[in-house]
Structure formats: structure tokens, C-alpha cells
Amino acid sequence: DIQMTQSPSSLSASVGDRVTITCRASQTISKYLNWYQHKAGEAPRLLIYATSSLQSGVPSRFSGSGSGTDFTLTISGLQPEDFAYYFCQQSYSTSWTFGQGTKVEFK
């Protein structure tokens, strides 16, 4: 299986900050990397698919970049509702694998 390494595992930030989360695949996955936001008690929410495509309804402060094995989720101008858990997922293979997740906490 393709291993996904996500970092950091947690970070503290303030409203308005620019936040960057990275995900590294153990082999090339082309552009097949997706990002999700998850809040406790809610369904995970798709933010970005295919590395950089913004899911409908997701604010433009969320963006994704990368290719091959290294990928980044950026939140430009953190908002109070963005404090949550974020995880990446590779869809290069039918057998999906996920990053360990990043908890974005209030500083």
C-alpha cells in the first residue's frame, strides 16, 4: 500500500494566520491527492480534490498544490470556523490510504 506521511500532527495558530500542512506519499501518486476537514461529530468535508481543485462551496482561502509525492494544503487567512482536524488521502490506487491528520488549534 502507498504510505502517506502528513505533517505536522498538530499546530497552533491565530485567526488571520496562513497555515500550511504537508503530505508526502511513499511513491508517486501523480495529482491524485485530496484534502478533507473534519470536525468532531460531523461528517468529513472534502476541501480539495486532485491536488488543487476546490470543491464546490469551499472558501477560496483553501488551496492545494504539489505533484508526484509532495503536496501542500494552505489556508490563507485562518477563520474561527477553520479550527479543525485536516487529513489527506491518495486516490491513485483503488486501495485508498490516508495521512495521520493535523489538528489545527487556537493559539
Partner 1 sequence: QVTLKESGPALVKPTQTLTLTCTFSGFSLSTSGMGVSWIRQPPGKALEWLARIDWDDDKFYSTSLKTRLKISKDTSKNEVVLTMTNIDPVDTGTYYCARVHTTGNYPDYWGQGALVTASS
**Residues in the site for partner 1, rule: CB under 8 A?**
1, 4, 32, 34, 41-46, 49-50, 55, 87, 89, 91, 94-101
Query: Which three three-digit cell numbers place residue 104?
Result: 489545527
Least distance in Å: CB of 14 to partner 1?
A: 27
| Of residues 43, 73, 50, 70, the one with CA closest to residue 61 | 73
Nearer to partner 1, 6 or 78 (CB): 6
Least distance in Å: CB of 97 to partner 1?
A: 7
Nearer to partner 1, 78 or 87 (CB): 87
Nearer to partner 1, 36 or 78 (CB): 36
Which residues are bridge partners to 98 per DSSP?
Answer: 89
Least distance in Å: CB of 91 to partner 1?
A: 4
Least distance in Å: CB of 9 to partner 1?
A: 11
| Of residues 62, 40, 68, the one with CA closest to residue 49 | 62
In 14-101, at which residue ranges do the beta strands (DSSP E only) sit?
A: 18-25, 33-38, 45-49, 53-54, 62-67, 70-76, 85-90, 97-98
